[in-house]
Amino acid sequence: MNTPLDKVLLKQKEPFFNNSSNISIALKSLIILACIVIIVAGMRAADSLLVPFLLAVFIGIICSPPLFWLKSKGISSAIALIIVIAGIVGVTLAASLVIGGSLKDFLQNLPVYQNILQQKLAAMTIWLNSMGISTTEFQSSELFDSKSVMNIIGKMLGGLSKIFTNTFVILLTVIFILLEASGFPLKLRAALSSPDESLSRLSQVTDSVRQYLAIKTMCSLLTGVLIALLLYIIGIKQSVLWGFIAFLFNFIPNIGSIIAAVPAIIMALIQFDTAAAVYTLAGYIFINLSISNIIEPKFMGRGLGLSTLVVFISLVFWGWVLGPVGMLLSVLLTTILKIALESSEETMWLAILLGPARAVKPDIQSAVKG
């Protein structure tokens, strides 16, 4: 006759797959994993459709605060929307004319820049050899291949030109997003079972995202303007284009500013000499460190509640899925994912893992004390 203890011990000795609950959990995990793989593969396959839409959402979030501000001043929804759309169209046309011209000029002169860079690198190789430094290993790498270097820059700017070709689609999508922005809370109130609590939380998260994007946009704009002025003073061609690149890539965390500096430094080396390239590098470092370490922390606060590791992983992941635009929107997309995970008790633990350590310390301390 088996005692209750014997029954427990016998149950523990049962194989894993003899337990139906374990099988259901394993099967559920496999199905979820398969769904994630299918979704990611679909996103990679449909990136040409997703990228313009996501950019439109990004621009719509940035432009919605001015729309609501105009409406709060007593301006009708139609007139406020017309004013915001006119501003978007004006900025888009100005950017297309100024930056598009610089981009076209750079791409046309790309072969010339390749030849000049090759001559500069050859002269640098001779100088290093005269100093007793072996350059055999360096010459075999792509860093000393002017064609590879300029092709990488050309591809990066070519991706930027694709964004300009989708300008009309992006602009039209932004208009429809802004048209729906004012009525979206009413739709949520009708759809949700407990609208007051859900809308309150959604409003807090939305305000946090808007504040982050507004501050990040202003800091990025300041970075772009200062970089353009720096390069104009040095005398580097297409200074407005490189300033715009600095503005865009400042949205990419950790490595965005480094990537944005590379083309301008190479152009300084092509047009002038090593000293000009060093001055350009020093200017980039000073401007980016000043803004990212002094101005941004002062206004940004705690940001969007993502850990540093998660920000870097999301940068790599979304860049792999959607290309350069995915890197640009990595923080925003990961924040939306975190919001979705927080909406369910079953996935709350994943949302906690995405957040910083300081967000869970009070809970851990209270649990330990309890």
Residues 216 and 172 in one domain: no
Q: How far apart are CA 55 and CA 338, in angstroms?
A: 19
Round to whole Å and give the CA distance between 305 and 200: 18
Q: CA-to-CA distance for 36 and 30, rounded, in angstroms?
A: 10
Burial of residue 200 (CB within 10 Å: 0-12, 13-18, 19+) is exposed
Check residue 230 and give its pLDDT.
Answer: 95
Q: What is the pLDDT of residues 195-215, one digit of tens each?
A: 666 666 667 667 777 777 888
- At 77 the pLDDT is 81
Mean pLDDT of the chain: 77
Residue-number span of the structural domain to which 351 is assigned? 303-358
Q: Same structural domain for residues 61 and 167?
A: yes
Q: Are residues 99 and 143 in the same domain?
A: yes
Instruction: Answer yes or no: do 130 and 159 share one domain.
Output: yes
* Residue 323 Ramachandran class (φ > 0 left, ψ -120 to 50 alpha, else beta): left
Q: Do residues 227 and 294 share a domain?
A: yes
User: pTM for this structure?
Assistant: 0.73
Residue appearing with tokens 């309150």: 200
Domain count, the chain: 3
83-94 pLDDT, tens digit per residue, is 988 888 888 888
Q: How many CA atoms lie within 13 A of 234 on its CB side?
A: 32
Q: Is 295 inside any structural domain?
A: yes
Distance CA 192, CA 186 (A): 10
DSSP, res 293: I
Residue 30: CA count within 13 A, CB half-sphere:
6
Structural domain includes residue 288: yes
Contact predicate 326/313, CB 8 Å: no
Q: Compute the distance between CA of residue 56 and CA of residue 36 in angstroms, rounded to an integer.
A: 24
Other Cβ atoms less than 10 A from the Cβ of 238: the count is 22
pLDDT, one tens digit per residue, over 40-67 is: 888 888 888 888 888 888 888 888 888 8
Query: Averaged over 21-45, what is the pLDDT?
Result: 80
